[in-house]
Amino acid sequence: MMIVSAYKLQSFWRKQVSIRKLAKQLLECMGRDMAFEKLVEFLKDHTVLAIATNCLKRILPRNPESPAVSVAVFLSAVFIDRFPDKVLDSMHDNIALVESATRMIRSFSTLLRKIVMERAFPSTDEFVRDLNAYLPLFESWRVIDLARVPERIRNAIRVTEIALAVADGDGSVSAEMVQQLEDNLVKLREKLLKFA
């Protein structure tokens, strides 16, 4: 009986230290101020994704109201919060999504700070409430955004075809540039076929 209790106590403290370490690492990651392109590369990093995934896995099961959420959907809120003009077609149509993403990221950051600072594990209620508000808004935006992808690809194909026609008739464009335009055109057409 005594050995089982000691094991449970050791396990509890290991988890507490581990979640504090994860929270501190994720706070450092999310606190960095960087340009959009750098943020894209940064959040693709496997280490950052692993830290975020493990942190969410440790936090969400503590609350019965917690939804199932992928780390990609969760981290999308960082992009929506920091770069809404680059992520969204229209700010006007997506104000609720931007506000929800901002609120959720703030409550998550507050929760992480509390995890790092406090001995006892703080309540996750505010974060889970904000996450539950964000998810349906994100999902409805994503459905609309995905429906617009084929038209965006068609527009890119038209622009590339025009650039290729100008490059072929101009003679001042390098063969390498023409080849790059042709390669891009093939890739765009392949992408469009995937959506058909």
Whether 163 has a pLDDT exceeding 60, the answer reads yes
In terms of pLDDT, which residue wins out, 54 or 169? 54
Tens of pLDDT, residues 45-80: 888 888 888 888 888 877 777 788 888 899 899 889
User: Which two structure tokens, joined as six digits, stand for 126?
Assistant: 């505010």
Pairwise CA distance, residues 157 & 78, whole Å: 30
Pairwise CA distance, residues 52 & 71, whole Å: 7
The H or E element containing residue 155 is helix 125-170
Is the pTM for the entire model greater than 0.85? no
Tens of pLDDT, residues 37-46: 888 888 888 8
Which residue in the block uniquely carries the two structure tokens 């392949």?
A: 190
Output the average pLDDT for the chain.
80
Q: pLDDT-based confidence at 17, cuts 50/70/90?
A: very low
Residue 156: CA count within 13 A, CB half-sphere:
18
Residue whose C-alpha is closest to residue 48's, from 69, 66, 86, 22: 22
Q: Which of 26-30, 55-59, 108-112, 126-130 has the lowest mean pLDDT?
A: 26-30
Residue whose C-alpha is closest to residue 64's, from 136, 131, 124, 105: 124
Q: How many CB atoms lie within 10 A of CB 124?
A: 21
Tens of pLDDT, residues 85-121: 888 888 788 999 999 999 999 998 888 888 888 777 8
Whether 5 has a pLDDT exceeding 70, the answer reads no
Please report the pLDDT score of residue 196 as a whole number. 64
Check if the beta carbon of residue 163 is closer than 8 Å to that of residue 184: no
DSSP state of 83: -
User: Which two structure tokens, joined as six digits, stand for 171?
Assistant: 């003679």
Please report the pLDDT score of residue 98 as a whole number. 94
Q: How many CB atoms lie within 10 A of CB 43?
A: 19
